[in-house]
Amino acid sequence: MPKMKTKKAAAKRFSFTGTGKIKYKKMNLRHILTKKSAKRKMHLRHAGILSEDSAKVIRSQLLPYGN
């Protein structure tokens, strides 16, 4: 069988933690930042962790060799 291809768009957006969870960068921190509170921007800086339901799809279809 040929190798499965990794979806490169997904590879650029998601990464794996050491325990196998999937990290992603949160949205809404690119422009129009003046109207957003400092607290909101502070929380958006940190990486998010995908729920296990969503992670299953990413892991199997988009990043088959990720983990």
DSSP annotation string for 35-65: TS-HHHHHHHHSPEE--HHHHHHIIIII-TT
**CA 25 distance to own-chain centroid:** 6
Which pTM does this prediction carry? 0.84
pLDDT at 66: 82
Please write the tens of the pLDDT for every residue from 2-36. Answer: 999 999 999 999 999 999 999 999 999 999 999 99
